[in-house]
């Protein structure tokens, strides 16, 4: 059994498209590309690289078949940000319950933390989420995430609507 972590989970929502602040584009060459029908091994690489330091464990518990059903679903969109040819971060939008959309995951590769790319990535995710028939956009974060995650979500227009205590167990 792995180490257990107590955390406070904050659930946030938007019920209308926000007025998004301008944020700088990534320096150098960059591309934000949808990963269409991503192979499970590629998704696991992104998920682990981005979430390792923040105890992202839920998707690690899934079998390859169960994970593929989610990430390869036509109403689940995964976008990878490449900077100078290498992955810098990603986000996942889940439209399976429209008109409610969920920003399921968003994060940066460890070497990109503090670069300002988080604001750019979140702004793009929000814009894409509201380009559909979305009436409510939800996201959750917890106290194990980067300390700037919650303030960034709020700065971009999300409002907290619930909190809960949880225990996450690392996977060895």
**What's the pLDDT tens digit per position in 87-96?**
999 999 999 9
Domains held by the chain: number:
1
Provide the token pair at 130: 């509201």
Q: How far apart are CA 128 and CA 70, in angstroms?
A: 19
Residue of 18, 104, 4 whose CA lies nearest to 55: 4
The answer to whether the pTM exceeds 0.85 is yes
CATH number at residue 74: 3.40.630.30
Residue 109 has pLDDT above 90, yes or no: yes
Q: How far is CA 125 from CA 27, 89, 138, 166, 171, in A?
A: 19, 12, 12, 26, 28
| Domain of residue 58, residue span | 4-169
What confidence tens digit (pLDDT) does each residue in 116-165 have? Answer: 899 999 999 999 999 999 999 999 998 888 888 999 999 999 999 999 98
Tell me the helices (H) and strands (E) count for the chain, helix number first: 4, 7
3-state secondary structure of 61: helix
Mean per-residue pLDDT over the chain, rounded: 92
């Amino acid at each position: 059994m792995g180490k257990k972590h107590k955390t406070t989970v904050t659930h946030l929502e938007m019920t209308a498209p926000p007025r998004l602040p301008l944020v700088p584009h990534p320096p150098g060459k960059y591309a934000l590309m949808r990963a269409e029908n991503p192979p499970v091994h590629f998704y696991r690489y992104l998920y682990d690289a981005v979430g390792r330091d923040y105890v992202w464990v839920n998707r690690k518990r899934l079998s390859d078949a169960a994970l593929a059903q989610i990430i390869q679903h036509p109403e689940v969109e995964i976008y990878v940000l490449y900077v100078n040819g290498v992955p810098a971060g990603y986000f996942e939008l889940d439209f399976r319950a429209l008109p409610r959309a969920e920003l399921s995951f968003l994060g940066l590769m460890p070497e990109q933390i503090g670069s300002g790319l988080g604001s750019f990535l979140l702004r793009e995710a929000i814009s894409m989420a509201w380009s559909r028939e979305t009436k409510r956009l939800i996201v959750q974060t917890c106290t194990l995430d980067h300390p700037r995650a919650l303030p960034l979500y709020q700065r971009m227009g999300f409002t907290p609507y619930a909190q809960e205590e949880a225990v996450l167990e690392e996977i060895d």
